[in-house]
């Protein structure tokens, strides 16, 4: 099976240490049947040789804007018209700045201006460069013009820093490219997904919250898009970029999340409640900052609505998937939640002691009526793809049973 067979992809490589990953990305795209034309910047040549990429793609690597061999036929315009999709991976801070400014100082930036094909960028840079206001402004401007962002990921960096700025793994970029051309198993289906924590205000300064990073939910959004789904992501307060092809709604509190979910749920085929929603909220938030006037402070807390249970109880309900983050007796608690909330599936994991929250890897026990499957510890991006496969399998089986 070659899902990208005959597709014309232009792979731009800029000068960052992650350039070595571009060779693997090119290999995966060629394996999928795509015609891949590599365009490198001069800086990229300091990190990876052209011969490697030429051997993988079977095409000479293009690097010079003023190339006598190609410019007789206006080669840069020819390439801009040839491409069905332009992928820049890695995309450095310098490239993003030039692209946002509309500059055409080399072959790659000129192609990005001259092409009418969609542009996808996979940023890769030091975490401080990624967080810099100038980079964030450039990214926001590019996204407003329709440029799709893939990543960046978080983790250890070549410079020794830890944080956001790592280029997505080639297989994740491959998945996103496939989603643009292939009809997935969820093509034409609407999926509603919640992710991240909620914050319940104590006063204008403080809140009750939890340690959810949103990484699992955002990875699920990417995997769902790769299966062709139309994804609406209701996100609590997290500092993660919006996955390509996803409609995002930002909320803060559990009540705001509930409102967003019930506004979006009509027409939804699958609802995945991945968010860590606060079970309780203060009965009343103080209007002014609470002062330290005594040695103790009593808080009155009231129950938040159970969003997942309410959606599962709708007369015309979607296929409902819940999550259970537990510190002990994971399977027993998950089984109880599956039955009590009348869910179609639940994904459970153990949290605490550097597990589950605020980490890049996770493991899941997935349970449904009459079956279960363990998904071993692995990066959340891979785990999400496996979980989506299980969800679609069960959704298809249930849909087929209801139609017989």
What is the DSSP track for 138-177?
HHHHHHHTT-EE---EEEE-TTS-EEEEEPPPHHHHHHHH
Strands 8-13 and 85-91 come out as parallel
**What value, to the nearest 5°, has the Cα angle with vertex 377 and ends 376 and 383?**
80
- φ/ψ of residue 232, rounded to 5: -110, 125
Strands 162-166 and 190-195: unpaired
Single out the catalytic residue among 112, 159, 274, 320: 159
Helices H / strands E in the chain, number of each = 14, 19
Which ranges constitute the DSSP H helices of 265-314? 307-312
Helix (H) or strand (E) holding 190: strand 190-195
DSSP letter at 355 equals: S
Question: What is the distance of C-alpha 226 from the center of its chain?
Answer: 10
Q: d(Cα 15, Cα 121) in Å, to the nearest integer?
A: 14
The one-character DSSP state at 231 is E
- Reported as half-sphere exposure (CB side, CA atoms, 13 A), residue 291 has a value of 2
Residue whose structure tokens are 């979980």: 387
Is residue 112 flagged as an active site residue? no
Query: In Å, how far are 41, 93, 166, 273, 392 from 90, measured between CA atoms?
Result: 11, 10, 9, 32, 32
| 200 neighbors 281 (Cβ within 8 angstroms) | yes
Residues with active-site annotation: 159
């Amino acid at each position: 099976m070659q899902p990208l067979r005959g597709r014309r992809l232009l792979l731009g490589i800029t000068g960052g240490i992650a350039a070595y990953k571009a060779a693997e990305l090119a290999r995966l795209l060629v394996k999928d049947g795509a015609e891949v034309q590599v365009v490198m910047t001069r800086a990229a040549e300091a990190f990876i040789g052209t011969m490697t990429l030429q051997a993988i793609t079977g095409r000479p690597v293009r690097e010079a804007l003023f190339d006598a061999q190609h410019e007789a036929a206006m080669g840069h315009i020819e390439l801009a018209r040839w491409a069905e999709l332009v992928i820049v991976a890695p995309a450095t801070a310098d490239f993003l700045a030039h692209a946002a400014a509309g500059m055409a100082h080399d072959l790659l930036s000129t192609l990005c201006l001259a092409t009418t094909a969609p542009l996808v960028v996979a940023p890769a840079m030091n975490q401080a460069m990624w967080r810099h206001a100038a980079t964030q402004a450039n990214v926001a401007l590019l996204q407003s013009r329709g440029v799709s962002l893939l990543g960046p990921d978080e983790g250890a960096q070549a410079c020794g820093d830890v944080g956001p700025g790592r280029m997505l793994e080639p297989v994740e970029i491959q998945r996103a490219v496939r989603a643009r051309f292939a009809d997935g198993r969820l093509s034409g289906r609407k999926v509603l997904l919640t992710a991240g924590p909620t914050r319940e205000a104590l006063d204008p300064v403080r809140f009750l919250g939890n340690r959810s990073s949103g990484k699992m939910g955002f990875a699920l959004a990417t995997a769902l898009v790769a299966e062709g789904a139309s994804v609406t992501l209701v996100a609590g307060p997290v500092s993660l970029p919006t996955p390509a092809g996803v409609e995002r709604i930002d909320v803060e509190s559990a009540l705001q999340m509930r409102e967003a979910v019930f506004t979006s749920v009509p027409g939804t085929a699958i609802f995945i409640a991945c968010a860590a929603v606060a079970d309780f909220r203060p009965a009343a938030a103080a209007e002014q900052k609470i002062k330290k006037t005594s040695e103790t402070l009593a808080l009155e807390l009231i129950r938040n609505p159970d969003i997942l249970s309410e959606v599962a109880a709708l007369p015309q309900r979607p296929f409902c998937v819940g999550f259970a983050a537990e510190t002990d007796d994971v399977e027993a608690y998950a089984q109880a939640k599956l039955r009590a909330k009348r869910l179609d599936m639940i994904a459970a994991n153990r949290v605490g002691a550097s597990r589950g929250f605020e980490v890049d890897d996770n493991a899941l026990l997935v349970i449904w009526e009459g079956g279960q499957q363990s998904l071993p510890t692995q990066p959340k991006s891979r785990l999400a793809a496996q979980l989506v496969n299980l969800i679609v399998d069960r959704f298809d089986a249930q849909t087929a049973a209801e139609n017989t």
